[in-house]
Amino acid sequence: MNGDWLIRGRDGRLSVYWYTQDAVLCRAEHVPGGTWDAPRRVGGEQKVQPGFALGQGADGYAHLVGWRSTRAGESGLVHSTHFRPLLAALDWLPVGHPNKQGERTGTPAVAVDTEGRAYLFVRNRGQGVHTVNQKERGGWNGWHDLKGSKVAEQLVAVTAESGLVQVYATGPVGVLRWLQQEPGGRPVAADPLAVSLAPGTLSALPTSKEHTTLFYTDPEGMLYAWRPDGDPMPLLAAAGPGRVSAVRCVLDGHDCTLLAQRSSSGRVAFAAYPTERESAGLWWTESGPALPAGTRVAVAEDAAGRVVAASLTPDGVLRLARQKDEPGLVLAAWQEV
State the CATH number of the domain containing residue 93: 2.120.10.10
For residues 278 and 190, state if they share a domain: no
- Mean of pLDDT values over 47-70: 95
Please list, in sequence order, all residues whose beta carbon lies within 8 angstroms of the beta carbon of residue 233, skipping any fewer than 6 positions away: 224, 225, 226, 278, 279
Closest of 136, 126, 139, 123 to residue 178, by C-alpha: 123
Q: List 66's β-bridge partners, or say none.
A: 78
User: What pTM does this model have?
Assistant: 0.96
What whole-number distance in Å separates Cα of residue 146 and Cα of residue 160? 19
Q: For position 88, what pLDDT does the model report? A: 82
What does pLDDT average to over the chain?
A: 95
- Mean of pLDDT values over 29-58: 93
pLDDT tens string 65-77: 999 999 999 999 9
Least confident of 6-10, 88-92, 124-128: 88-92
Q: For position 69, what pLDDT does the model report? A: 97
CA distances from 203 to 162, 198, 216, 228, 264 (A): 18, 12, 7, 15, 19
pLDDT tens string 161-187: 999 999 999 999 999 999 999 999 999
pLDDT surpassing 80 at residue 150: yes
Model confidence at 1, pLDDT cuts 50, 70, 90, reads: confident
Q: For position 31, what pLDDT does the model report? A: 94
For residues 132 and 49, state if they share a domain: yes
Contact 98, 122 (CB under 8 A): yes
Model confidence at 87, pLDDT cuts 50, 70, 90, reads: confident
For residues 128 and 157, state if they share a domain: yes
- The total domain count for the chain is 2
Q: For position 258, what pLDDT does the model report? A: 98
Model confidence at 135, pLDDT cuts 50, 70, 90, reads: very high
For residues 104 and 239, state if they share a domain: no
Q: Which of 138, 165, 194 is the last residue of a domain?
A: 194
For residues 190 and 209, state if they share a domain: no
Q: Which of 194, 215, 235 is the last residue of a domain?
A: 194
For residues 26 and 92, state if they share a domain: yes
Q: For position 138, what pLDDT does the model report? A: 83
Structural domain boundaries enclosing 161: 1-194
Model confidence at 251, pLDDT cuts 50, 70, 90, reads: very high
What whole-number distance in Å separates Cα of residue 193 and Cα of residue 317? 37
For residues 177 and 215, state if they share a domain: no
Q: Which of 176, 194, 212 is the last residue of a domain?
A: 194
- Mean of pLDDT values over 84-109: 93
Please list, in sequence order, all residues whose beta carbon lies within 8 angstroms of the beta carbon of residue 325, skipping any fewer than 6 positions away: none
For residues 180 and 65, state if they share a domain: yes
pLDDT surpassing 90 at residue 193: yes
pLDDT tens string 306-333: 999 999 999 889 999 999 999 989 999 9
CATH number at residue 268: 2.120.10.70
